[in-house]
Structure 1
Amino acid sequence: MKDSKLLLNCLIENLKEGIHIVDAKGKTIYYNDAMGAIEGVEAKDVMGKEIQEYLKGLEEKSTIIKSLKSGIASRDNIQNYSNDKGKVITSINSTIPVLKDGEVNAVIEIARDMTQIKKLNETICNLGSKAKSEKHYYTFKDIIGGSEVMQEEIVKSRKAGLSNSSVLIYGETGCGKELFAQSIHYEGVRSNKPFIAINCAAIPSALLEGMLFGTVKGSFTGAENKKGLFEEAHRGTMLLDEINAMDPYLQSKLLRVLQDGYIRPIGSNKYIDVDVRIIATINEEPNKLMEEGKLRKDFYYRLSVIRLRIPPLRERREDIRPLCKYFIDYYNKILFKNVESISEEVLEGFMNYDWPGNVRELKNSIEGAMNMIEDGHVLTKESFGNKINMIIEKESQREYKELVGLDEYINNIEKDIIKRVFQKNKNNVSKTSKELMISRQNLQYKLKKHGLI
């Protein structure tokens, strides 16, 4: 095509990733705006120049320079360096040499900016090493739930606090898993030692490993001697939230720590003894996660010495009324309101609703209603707006289920969900299957089954 070069330029310039291409002599021949944003320089200032002319701290450690010399590709390398203006940059780079007749003709580097994430991670580490006298933490008295199923888990959790064994907490999103984790620690035998929580789903694996185990200077480009969270949490507790999001490779390394009681920082040949109690959480059934390969079986069995299951709100509806009172009192103080209660009509709707977001959804619903109320002391149907309409719709679905039978009811719900997501994704099978978390083949079967294609 005559315009192929124009199309290629348009494509590369609209990528979020930085693209940097050098020729066989190491001089820059292409540099997109995204790369300029990462490194804090402009393309006009780097074109035709070698890397050392405008960046500091790379020298022979540069993945581009290494690839030029070796002709070997590298992927997901962490680099820390600075530009000539002193801006510190952290990126994850994949570097690919372009070979012609066995010789390196050019090198392409694709970079993702990790500077802000690194700063956030360092903040977490710093907070973990400081006293948290002003930080609020939860204990069992903060858990609202007089239902039998909830009280059973609280009793088990109190016993877990008297032990040093690892704990696995399973519960749907919004059930309050971290409240239980903090309560186990702060009312347990390690209450006066560090408690460090980390969300495994929020941090890329390439950074998470260094955060957990620490790094030694020179272990990768720009690496410094830095303690890991395991050292920071020594003799205390570490909460690994959403552990199933952790890469299986890291799960195997953690299994070794749990079994042997020591870690080895990245780039070091020395082992460090650590005494850390692990509390891990998952938001899906463990058997399902193991079948899907998201949770190693040996890791699961080592973690679940003590296993807790936090019941969803639909299994403890008698707790809805006291939870509503608690959240009303809480938001009265924050929003300077004077609300006393919720109408019985709304409470009846709440009792019949399944609360897929659990306690967090209930809390957010009440917060929204209390922001809307202007006068009066009772939250009514009008205070909740569209939210209460959704709840009423769920009630009518419940009645419909009783009329048509469970199988037909579930079949209709499945059809409705697939139809809605399929239309939202403009009939794109790949996007729809990804959002529904099922295979393309399974989705196509269900689309045909429900007459949607």
Structure 2
Amino acid sequence: MAETLSAPALPSVYRQLLDAIDIGIHVINHEGKSIIYNRKMSEIEDMEKEDVLHKNIMDIFLFNKEEESRLLQALNHGEVHHNAKQVYFNFKGQEITTINDTFPLIYEGKRIGAVEIAKDITRLERLTRENARDKQDARFTFDQIIGDSNAIREVVENARRATRTTSSVLISGETGTGKELFAQSIHNGSERASKPFISQNCAALPDSLIEGILFGSVKGAFTGAADHPGLFEQADGGTLMLDEINSLSAPLQAKLLRALQEKSIRRIGDTKNRSVDVRIIATINEDPAVSLEKNRLREDLYYRLSVVSILVPPLRQRKEDIPVLANHFVNKYNKRFQLNVPGIAKGVQQLFQEYDWPGNVRELEHMVEGAMNLIYYDERIDYTHLPVHVRNKFPSYNDISHAPEALVVPNAPPTKPLQEYMEEVEKVYIEQILKRHSGNVTQAADELGLSRQSLQYRLRKYRLNIRHS
């Protein structure tokens, strides 16, 4: 005989219902601690309920500050979000993408908690990004060009103006300055954004191949030739970026000039012209005057391409942008490598300001990436993580780490193991920094160069009874 559904049984019934529905539900109380976390939300975020329930949300997810959590926005400020996309990371460093409804819970006129109802679109987002990469579409926009210096702001402003027309653009700049980023941003900011963006490095292939790639071929034009549209036809209605245009031979530059002037191309082996509507953005990795002087660029082609001329400055001329660029790359590779590196040591920041960066922004990114391959989970990037050629150039920076003068180091008996002694030193130092900040974990973690989660781990490890803020 079936039992009657009674009031005492309702909590169990509610839990079963929450775990049965195919939508994620996460509820926090007035302290920001998780009190409801259903099965579906556990699947979406790839975390066990035990990892989440009764813990503060800032201890669970890799938020840099409370404002990044919509649950805390709802709890602390009453903010409501409907059908809003959110991208965040769990404590394992895994990227989660959801569509959420988030709102505060009100009882007797007071906010007593907050709830988030989530639909998982992580896999859909990943497939969308992969599909976009496969199509070689332009991914970058002006918003992704990093830097606050006057030098880069002026270039961005000039490039933005180029989005209003269909005129040819010549972007010059040293290797690694980000010329293609500007080319893609111009395309994405123009009326051609919905049409193809195709990029071709002219130095990557010999003339015998590049001509067929640019203009196409017809069957029988040469041994093994088939009817094949070239990049001009494939980019019709959109943008064709020609990288290192000065590496093309003079005859090919003449054919390119004719195609631009007549707005038509002729495939190899064909007898008819085909009309094309393509905007050309060309790039060159040296001063155009040098290319002209050394006959690496035809003068008539230069004037045809440089209707809009943009010069991207080298990194050594915009060094005030180095800190924000370096921080951007640290965050990028934290996500990619599932690390939690808090940043770059002050001594290395000083070294970066003295270095001349021959490889420009690309070299900076590769240097950060290389350092993060050598680093532990939550260390700052220091001198020992830098490439050998940089360390050899700046040997004096080997002594960039100094013990704090205020640190009281405990006496170490001769028989005490090094690891045990170092842990005692770490414990004493953490206690001093926490005391300085009146127990504020966030401020102490910032001074220590640790993430909040890493400091909290050490507090538990050393059983320090300090008030968490």
TM-score range, shorter chain: 0.5 to 0.7
**Distance in 2 separating the partners of 1:390 and 1:378:** 21
1:225, distance to aligned residue in structure 2 (A): 1.1
SS at match of 2:171: strand
Equivalent residue for 1:323?
325
Equivalent residue for 2:391?
389
Which of 353, 357, 365 is the aligned partner of 2:355? Answer: 353
Equivalent residue for 2:164?
162
Letter of the aligned partner of 2:189 in structure 1? E
Contact 2:243/2:283 (8 A) holds in 1 = yes
Equivalent residue for 1:236?
238
Judged with a 3 Å threshold, the aligned counterparts in structure 2 of structure 1 residues 368 and 232 are, in CA distance, closer, same or farther, namely same
Equivalent residue for 1:313?
315
Contact 2:137/2:198 (8 A) holds in 1 = no
Equivalent residue for 2:274?
272
Contact 1:264/1:271 (8 A) holds in 2 = yes
Equivalent residue for 1:247?
249
SS at match of 1:281: strand
**Please, what TM-score do these two structures have when normalized by structure 1?**
0.57
User: Counterparts of 1:125-140 in structure 2 under 5 Å?
Assistant: 137-140=139-142
Equivalent residue for 1:213?
215
1:304, distance to aligned residue in structure 2 (A): 0.3
**Distance in 1 separating the partners of 2:196 and 2:205:** 21
Judged with a 3 Å threshold, the aligned counterparts in structure 2 of structure 1 residues 281 and 362 are, in CA distance, closer, same or farther, namely same
**Distance in 1 separating the partners of 2:133 and 2:145:** 24
**Distance in 2 separating the partners of 1:211 and 1:311:** 31
Letter of the aligned partner of 1:291 in structure 2? E
SS at match of 2:309: strand
Q: Deviation per CA, 1:136-176, whole angstroms, max 9, x where unpaired?
A: 71111111111001000000111101110000000000000
Contact 2:339/2:377 (8 A) holds in 1 = no
SS at match of 1:138: coil
Contact 1:194/1:235 (8 A) holds in 2 = yes
Which of 353, 369, 381 is the aligned partner of 1:379? Answer: 381
Judged with a 3 Å threshold, the aligned counterparts in structure 2 of structure 1 residues 278 and 329 are, in CA distance, closer, same or farther, namely same
* Counterpart check, 1:288 vs 2:284: no
Q: Where in structure 1 do 4 or more consecutive aligned residues deviate above 4 Å?
A: 130-136
Percentage identity across paired residues of the two chains? 50
Judged with a 3 Å threshold, the aligned counterparts in structure 2 of structure 1 residues 136 and 155 are, in CA distance, closer, same or farther, namely closer
Judged with a 3 Å threshold, the aligned counterparts in structure 2 of structure 1 residues 309 and 234 are, in CA distance, closer, same or farther, namely same
Judged with a 3 Å threshold, the aligned counterparts in structure 2 of structure 1 residues 282 and 194 are, in CA distance, closer, same or farther, namely same
1:131, distance to aligned residue in structure 2 (A): 9.8
Judged with a 3 Å threshold, the aligned counterparts in structure 2 of structure 1 residues 301 and 348 are, in CA distance, closer, same or farther, namely same
1:336, distance to aligned residue in structure 2 (A): 1.4
Judged with a 3 Å threshold, the aligned counterparts in structure 2 of structure 1 residues 225 and 394 are, in CA distance, closer, same or farther, namely farther
1:376, distance to aligned residue in structure 2 (A): 3.8
Contact 2:367/2:387 (8 A) holds in 1 = no
Which of 133, 136, 144 is the aligned partner of 1:142? Answer: 144
Judged with a 3 Å threshold, the aligned counterparts in structure 2 of structure 1 residues 283 and 381 are, in CA distance, closer, same or farther, namely same
Judged with a 3 Å threshold, the aligned counterparts in structure 2 of structure 1 residues 390 and 147 are, in CA distance, closer, same or farther, namely farther
SS at match of 1:231: helix
**Distance in 1 separating the partners of 2:146 and 2:326:** 10
Contact 1:244/1:295 (8 A) holds in 2 = yes
Letter of the aligned partner of 1:297 in structure 2? E
**Distance in 2 separating the partners of 1:325 and 1:331:** 10
Which of 181, 184, 187 is the aligned partner of 2:186? Answer: 184
Query: Any unmatched runs of 5+ in structure 1?
Result: 1-129, 396-453
Letter of the aligned partner of 1:331 in structure 2? Y
SS at match of 1:189: coil
Judged with a 3 Å threshold, the aligned counterparts in structure 2 of structure 1 residues 131 and 392 are, in CA distance, closer, same or farther, namely closer
Judged with a 3 Å threshold, the aligned counterparts in structure 2 of structure 1 residues 192 and 375 are, in CA distance, closer, same or farther, namely closer
**Distance in 1 separating the partners of 2:216 and 2:138:** 27
Judged with a 3 Å threshold, the aligned counterparts in structure 2 of structure 1 residues 385 and 361 are, in CA distance, closer, same or farther, namely closer
1:217, distance to aligned residue in structure 2 (A): 1.3
Judged with a 3 Å threshold, the aligned counterparts in structure 2 of structure 1 residues 267 and 171 are, in CA distance, closer, same or farther, namely same
1:391, distance to aligned residue in structure 2 (A): 4.4
Contact 2:137/2:196 (8 A) holds in 1 = no
Contact 2:138/2:197 (8 A) holds in 1 = no
Q: Deviation per CA, 1:218-276, whole angstroms, max 9, x where unpaired?
A: 11122111111111111110000010111111100010111111111111111111110
1:377, distance to aligned residue in structure 2 (A): 2.9
Which of 282, 298, 301 is the aligned partner of 2:300? Answer: 298
Judged with a 3 Å threshold, the aligned counterparts in structure 2 of structure 1 residues 276 and 284 are, in CA distance, closer, same or farther, namely same
Contact 1:353/1:394 (8 A) holds in 2 = no
**Distance in 2 separating the partners of 1:394 and 1:227:** 58
Which of 222, 225, 234 is the aligned partner of 2:224? Answer: 222
Q: Deviation per CA, 1:109-132, whole angstroms, max 9, x where unpaired?
A: xxxxxxxxxxxxxxxxxxxxx996
Contact 1:346/1:388 (8 A) holds in 2 = no
SS at match of 1:145: coil
Letter of the aligned partner of 1:360 in structure 2? R
Letter of the aligned partner of 2:357 in structure 1? W
Judged with a 3 Å threshold, the aligned counterparts in structure 2 of structure 1 residues 298 and 385 are, in CA distance, closer, same or farther, namely closer
SS at match of 1:191: coil
SS at match of 1:151: helix
**Distance in 2 separating the partners of 1:233 and 1:136:** 12
Query: Any unmatched runs of 5+ in structure 2?
Result: 1-131, 398-469
* Counterpart check, 1:261 vs 2:283: no
Letter of the aligned partner of 1:137 in structure 2? R
Q: Deviation per CA, 1:381-407, whole angstroms, max 9, x where unpaired?
A: 122252441441699xxxxxxxxxxxx
Contact 2:240/2:280 (8 A) holds in 1 = yes
Judged with a 3 Å threshold, the aligned counterparts in structure 2 of structure 1 residues 168 and 394 are, in CA distance, closer, same or farther, namely farther
Most deviating of 276-285 and 134-143? 134-143
Letter of the aligned partner of 2:185 in structure 1? S
**Distance in 2 separating the partners of 1:339 and 1:332:** 6
1:135, distance to aligned residue in structure 2 (A): 5.6
SS at match of 1:341: coil
Letter of the aligned partner of 2:298 in structure 1? R
* Counterpart check, 1:193 vs 2:170: no
Q: Larger radius of gyration, structure 1 or 2?
A: 2
1:197, distance to aligned residue in structure 2 (A): 0.3
Contact 1:194/1:233 (8 A) holds in 2 = yes
**Distance in 1 separating the partners of 2:364 and 2:347:** 16
Judged with a 3 Å threshold, the aligned counterparts in structure 2 of structure 1 residues 301 and 393 are, in CA distance, closer, same or farther, namely farther
Judged with a 3 Å threshold, the aligned counterparts in structure 2 of structure 1 residues 135 and 197 are, in CA distance, closer, same or farther, namely closer
Letter of the aligned partner of 1:345 in structure 2? G
